[in-house]
Amino acid sequence: MLGIIGGTGLTQLANLVVTRRQIIRTPYGEPSAPLTFGEVGGRPVVFLARHGSGHTIPPHAVNYRANLWALHSEGVCNIVAIATVGGIHADLAPGSIAVPDQIIDYTHSRKTSFHDGVELPVRHIDFTEPYCPNMRRLVQLAARKLGEPVVMGGTYACVQGPRLETAAEINRLERDGATMVGMTGMPEAALARELEISYAALCPVANHAAGRGSSQHGIRYEDVGVVLEGTMQRVRTLIEHVVTMHGD
């Protein structure tokens, strides 16, 4: 079954025909919200709002382990995660959509593994390719069918948040090879890999990163909201195509 994790700007799927909602208990505590089961285009899908139904959980406080465990326990084996980012590279202007293929983790103090020596034995996973090539290809094919331009590839820098970055920090991320910056990509991607879930990220670009483009003199959050509102309409349509093509 396909799971969709919604991020900032996507707390629900408007085109989801809901069949049931279920609160899942996990060994790691409460997920961000009940799982929403339903269909998109006649295909089954499970939706989870990463930041809670009312977008009240900040990135550093998300219970990523409970979220992934809950989805896995209900038979989800493939995930497309919506993760809003700031664009560092010039190709990633506000309103564009990226599908990254690499990630760098700058977060701290988050629960990063199921295998912490308590619940499960220690296990080392291969994380050379943090995003599933097959799921990334599915997103690309769905975008092509829709005629929606997406930027394939790029490196997601995952920072702690919830504050935005300084211009100097963005310079550092760019020197490290990052092309976009967000706050929720890790440990979500690694936890999915530990559970052997095929995972890809779909990243709407909400704004230029600090010191880039129109943000050279600061980032106006009201402008970010306007961009996201329009971009998320396109993301919802793209997700619908991904769901209907899943399993073909």
Task: Tell me the binding residues for phosphate.
Answer: 8, 50-51, 184
Annotated binding residues for substrate, written as ranges, equal 183, 207-209
* 208 closest CA partner among 33, 74, 90: 90
Upstream peptide bond of 34 is cis (omega within 30 degrees of 0): no
Q: Distance from first CA to last CA of the chain, Å, rounded?
A: 13
Query: What whole-number distance in Å separates Cα of residue 243 and Cα of residue 138?
Result: 9
Query: What whole-number distance in Å separates Cα of residue 1 and Cα of residue 44?
Result: 7
Query: What whole-number distance in Å separates Cα of residue 22 and Cα of residue 78?
Result: 19
Q: What is the DSSP string of 68-116?
A: HHHHHHTT--EEEEE--EEE-STT--TT-EEE-SEEEE---SS---S-S
Maximum C-alpha span of the chain = 49
Annotated binding residues, written as ranges, equal 8, 50-51, 183-184, 207-209
Q: Is 66 helix (H, G, I), strand (E, B) or coil?
A: helix
